[in-house]
Chains A and B, each alone.
Chain A
Amino acid sequence: MALERVNAVVVGSGAGGGIVAKELAQAGLRVVLLERGSWVTAYDCRKDDLRNQRTTVLGNAFGPDDERHPRVVVDESGRERTLRASEPGYHNNAGCVGGGTASYGAMAWRFMEKDFRMRSTYGAVPGSTLEDWPLSYADLEPYYEKAEWEIGVSGDDAGNVFRAPRRRPLPMPPLPPNRECQVLRPAALRLGLHPFDIPMLRNSVPYNGRPACMRCRWCVGFACEVDAKCGTQNTVIPAALKTGNCELRCDCVAGQVLLDERGRAAGVAYFDARGRYREQPADLVVVSCAAIESARLLLNSRSRLFPKGLGNRHDWVGRNLQGHTYPRAAGLFDFELYDDQGPGAGIAVCDYNHGNPGLAGGGMLANEFIRLPYQFVAQVPRSAGRWGRGHKEFMRKWYRRSMSVMGPVQEMPMFDSRVEVDPVVKDHWGIPVARLSGGKHPHTLEVARYMAGKAEAWLKEAGAIHTWTVVPGPGLSGGQHQAGTCRMGGDPRTSVVNRYCQVHDVDNVFVIDGSVHVTNGGFNPVLTIMALAYYASAHLVKTWKGTRMRS
Chain B
Amino acid sequence: MSASPWKRRRFLSAGVSSAAATFSGCRRNQNPWRFFTLEEAFLVEQICQQLIPADQDAGGREAGVVNYIDRQLAGFHSRQQNLYRRGLVRVDEIARAMFQDRFTSLASERQVAVLEEAETKETAFFNAILAHAMQGFYGDPRHGGNRDYASWRMLGVPPRPVRGRQQYDLTRGRG
B131 at the interface (CB under 8 A from A): yes
- Residues on B with beta carbons closer than 8 Å to the beta carbon of A341: 172
Residue of chain A at shortest CB distance from B52:
A392
Interface residues in A131-183 by Cβ distance below 8 A to B read 173, 175-176
Residues of A near B163 (CB, < 8 A) are: 225
Per-position 1/0 for A177-198, Cβ under 8 A of B: 0000000000000000000000
A314 within 8 Å of B by Cβ? no
Q: How far is the CA of A228 from the CA of B112 in the complex (A)?
A: 48
Are B53 and A340 in contact (CB-based, < 8 A)? no
For B36, list chain A residues within 8 Å (CB).
none
> Is A50 a contact of B2 with CB atoms below 8 Å?
no
Q: How far is the CA of A339 from the CA of B143 in the complex (A)?
A: 26
**Is A541 positioned at the interface, with any CB of B under 8 Å from its CB?**
no
Q: Shortest beta-carbon distance, B134 to chain A, in Å?
A: 5
Instruction: Write the B143-164 contact mask toward A (1 if CB under 8 angstroms, else 0).
Output: 1000000011011111010010
Pairwise interchain contact B151-A373, C-beta atoms closer than 8 A: yes
Closest to A387 in B: B51
**Quick check: B175 and A211 within 8 Å, CB to CB?**
yes
Q: Contacts A50-B140, A373-B157, A396-B57 given: A205-B152 contact, CB under 8 Å?
A: no
When distances are taken between beta carbons in the complex, the residues of chain A under 8 Å from B158 are 340
B74 cross-chain contacts in A, Cβ below 8 A: none
Is the beta-carbon distance between B135 and A57 smaller than 8 angstroms?
Answer: yes
Q: C-beta contact mask, A510-525 vs B, less than 8 Å → 1, else 0? A: 0000000000000000
Task: Decide yes or no: A340 and B165 within 8 Å by CB, A59-B76, A373-B151, A374-B134 being known contacts.
Answer: no
* B155 and A212 contact, CB distance less than 8 A: no
Which residues does chain A contribute within 8 Å of B112, judged by CB atoms? 388
Task: Say yes or no: B152 contacts A373, CB within 8 Å.
Answer: yes
Q: How far is the CB of B64 from chain A (nearest CB, A)?
A: 15
A101 interfacial by beta-carbon distance below 8 Å: no
Q: Is A214 an interface residue (CB 8 A)?
A: yes
Residues 117-133 of B contacting A (Cβ, < 8 Å):
119, 130-131, 133
Instruction: Tell me if B17 counts as interface (CB < 8 A to partner A).
Output: no
- As a 0/1 sequence over residues 66 to 98 of chain B, the CB contacts with chain A under 8 angstroms (1 = contact) are 000000100010000000000000000000000
The reply to whether A214 and B142 form a contact with Cβ atoms under 8 Å apart is no
A43 — which chain B residues lie within 8 A by C-beta? 165
A204 at the interface (CB under 8 A from B): yes
Contacts of A206 in B (CB 8 A): 175
Residues of B with C-beta under 8 A to A395: 138, 151, 154-155
Chain A CB within 8 A of B1 CB: yes
A376-B140 Cα distance, complex, nearest whole Å = 14
Q: Judging by beta carbons under 8 Å apart, are A57 and B131 in contact?
A: yes
CA distance A501 to B152 in the complex (A): 48
- Say yes or no for A93: interface residue by CB 8 A criterion: no
Answer whether A377 and B138 are a contact pair too, CB < 8 Å, given A47-B160, A58-B143, A388-B50. yes
Give the nearest-CB partner of A396 in chain B.
B154
Inter-subunit contact A339/B55 (CB<8 Å): no
C-alpha gap A285/B53 in the complex (Å): 58
From A46, which residue of chain B is reached at the shortest CB distance?
B142
Residues of A within 8 A of B55 (CB): 389, 392
Residue among B76, B152, B169 with the highest chain A CB neighbour number at 10 A: B76
Q: How large is the interface on A (under 10, 10 to 19, 20 to 34, 35 or more residues)?
A: 35 or more
Can you name the residue of chain B whose Cβ is closest to the Cβ of A43?
A: B165
Q: Once the chains bind, are B175 and A387 in contact (CB under 8 Å)?
A: no
Question: For residue B139, which residue of chain A has the nearest CB?
Answer: A50
Q: Are A215 and B172 within 8 A (Cβ)?
A: yes
Within 8 Å by CB of B173, from A215, A340, A376, A387, lies A215
B172 & A50 in contact (Cβ 8 Å cutoff)? no
User: Do A175 and B53 touch across chains, with their CB atoms under 8 A apart?
Assistant: no
Q: Which of A211, A212, A228, A399 contacts B156 (CB 8 A)?
A: A399
Cross-chain contact of A226 among B51, B151, B170 (Cβ < 8 A): B170
The one of A57, A204, A339, A373 in contact with B174, judged by C-beta atoms closer than 8 angstroms, is A204
The chain B residue sitting closest to A391, CB to CB, is B52
The answer to whether B138 touches A175, judged by C-beta atoms less than 8 angstroms apart, is no
Whole-angstrom CA separation of A377 from B65 in the bound complex: 15
Is residue A203 within 8 Å, beta carbon to beta carbon, of the partner chain? yes
Residues of chain A contacted by B152 (CB below 8 angstroms): 373
Q: How far is the CA of A238 from the CA of B169 in the complex (A)?
A: 26
Cβ–Cβ contact A396 & B134, under 8 A:
no
CB of B6 within 8 A of chain A?
Answer: no
Residues in B with CB closer than 8 Å to A176 are 174
Nearest A residue to B51 via CB reads: A387
Chain B residues within 8 Å of A399, by CB:
155-157
Known: A214-B169, A215-B173. A49 touches B139 (CB 8 A): yes
Tell me the complex Cα distance, A49–B142, Å. 10
Task: Specify the chain A residue showing the minimal Cβ separation from B152.
Answer: A373
Measured CA separation A424–B30 after assembly (Å): 47
A338 touches B76 (CB 8 A): no
Query: Which of A49, A376, A391 has the most CB atoms of chain B within a 10 A radius of its CB?
Result: A49
Q: Are A212 and B174 in contact (CB under 8 A)?
A: yes
**CB of A454 closer than 8 Å to a CB of B:** no
Residue ID in chain B nearest A377 by CB atoms: B134
Given the interface pairs A48-B140, A374-B138, the reply to whether A386 lies near B130 with Cβ below 8 Å is: yes
A253 at the interface (CB under 8 A from B): no
B174 lies within 8 A of A205 (CB):
yes
Instruction: Using CB atoms, name the residue of chain A closest to B132.
Output: A57
Which of B50, B59, B175 touches A205 (beta carbons < 8 Å)?
B175
CB proximity to B under 8 Å, residues A9-56: 43, 47-50
- A43 and B59 CA atoms in complex are apart in Å by 34
Taking a contact as CB atoms under 8 Å apart, the answer to whether B130 and A340 are in contact is no
Q: Which residues 363-399 in A have Cβ within 8 Å of B in the complex?
A: 373-374, 376-377, 386-389, 391-392, 395-396, 399
A-B contacts, 7 of them at CB < 8 A, read A57-B135, A57-B139, A58-B76, A204-B173, A217-B157, A389-B53, A395-B154
Give 5 A-B pairs besides A43-B165, A399-B157 with Cβ atoms closer than 8 angstroms.
Answer: A57-B131, A57-B139, A338-B157, A387-B51, A395-B155
6 residue pairs, one from A and one from B, having the closest CB atoms? A212-B173, A212-B175, A373-B138, A49-B140, A374-B138, A50-B139
